[in-house]
Amino acid sequence: MKTDYETLLVERPREHLVQVTLNRPAVANSLNTRMGHELTEAFAAFEVDPSLARAVVLTGAGERIFCAGADLRERRGMSDEDWLKQHRVFERMMRAIIDCPIPVIAAVNGAAYAGGCELTLACDFAYASKTARFALTEVTIGIMPGGAGTQTLPRIVGERRAKEIILGGEPISAADALAWGVVNRLCEPATLLQETLDRAQRIAENAPISVRQAKHSIHHGLQMDLRSGMMLEIEAYNRMVPTEDRREGVAAFNEKRKPRFKGR
């Protein structure tokens, strides 16, 4: 897997785990065009070859900011055509993260504003520092969320709460983000990454095909009516039956030992 990027740090902190760090701390880890292309490339690699890792942790460099959203310095003076061209890069970036077949967990180490908040929402779930803050501020500068925020946020917090957050454009605290389901856990700043990696490792210890199929079933089933979702679930379930991992899991249970999953 490629690890040489200009705006990202891509590392393997533990077996089967990849950590992707937004690495523009001098400009609040803001999203420029290069970062959009590089995030797309990094996450698209997992769609091509899911065996590259069993879980991904997405975080930001530094201790105060996860991502401040799009780099408005780069956007200053852009023509309408160039603005739309850049935004298409960001659209592909968000789709690459949302469509990633393996679990993606955000470790939100600080402020997650605008596109940074949308990156958090694009992940499967998120842990956050107790000092983190979240906002979709786009309406305050004459645009609106365009990184799937108007779609992902209502699916998490509900329509009325999402309207309050998006139309007001004001930050919410980490405590409110936890209460409303934007994040799953609050951590002390010093332990955030460790706790997120621990959760990712626990996921990575499970059967990787099973994890990917369960994620697929949850994500796509929620877009369907219940009966269609149940049919999707059974299709995903049936793919587990002929796998080596299914046989290994049952054998390990009966032999009272830890299973050794191979992803096949």
Q: Which one is catalytic: 36, 60, 69, 115?
A: 115
Whether 85 and 159 share a structural domain: yes
Whether 154 and 195 share a structural domain: yes
Provide the pLDDT for residue 85. 96
184: amino acid identity, one letter: N
Q: Which one is catalytic: 138, 200, 236, 249?
A: 138
The question of whether 115 is a catalytic residue gets the answer yes
The question of whether 62 is a catalytic residue gets the answer no
Provide the pLDDT for residue 206. 96
The question of whether 138 is a catalytic residue gets the answer yes
The question of whether 248 is a catalytic residue gets the answer no
Provide the pLDDT for residue 63. 85
- Determine the angle formed by the axes of helices 149-157 and 115-122, rounding to 10 degrees: 60
Provide the pLDDT for residue 168. 97
Provide the pLDDT for residue 2. 85
Per-residue pLDDT of the chain (264 residues; tens, 9 = 90+): 888 999 999 999 999 999 999 999 999 999 999 999 999 999 999 999 999 999 999 999 998 999 999 998 999 999 999 999 999 999 999 999 999 999 999 999 999 999 999 999 999 999 999 999 999 999 999 999 999 999 999 999 999 999 999 999 999 999 999 999 999 999 999 999 999 999 999 999 999 999 999 999 999 999 999 999 999 999 999 999 999 999 999 999 999 999 999 989
- Give the pTM: 0.94
Whether 173 and 232 share a structural domain: no
Whether residue 53 lies inside any domain: the answer is: yes
Whether 154 and 24 share a structural domain: yes
Whether 248 and 117 share a structural domain: no
Provide the pLDDT for residue 222. 94
Whether residue 259 lies inside any domain: the answer is: no
Whether 73 and 56 share a structural domain: yes
Q: Determine the structural domain holding residue 80 and report its residue range.
A: 8-204
Q: Which one is catalytic: 61, 107, 116, 118?
A: 118
Whether residue 3 lies inside any domain: the answer is: no
Q: Which one is catalytic: 53, 55, 70, 135?
A: 70
Provide the pLDDT for residue 1. 81
Provide the pLDDT for residue 16. 96
Provide the number of structural domains found in the chain: 2
CATH number of the domain that 46 lies in?
3.90.226.10
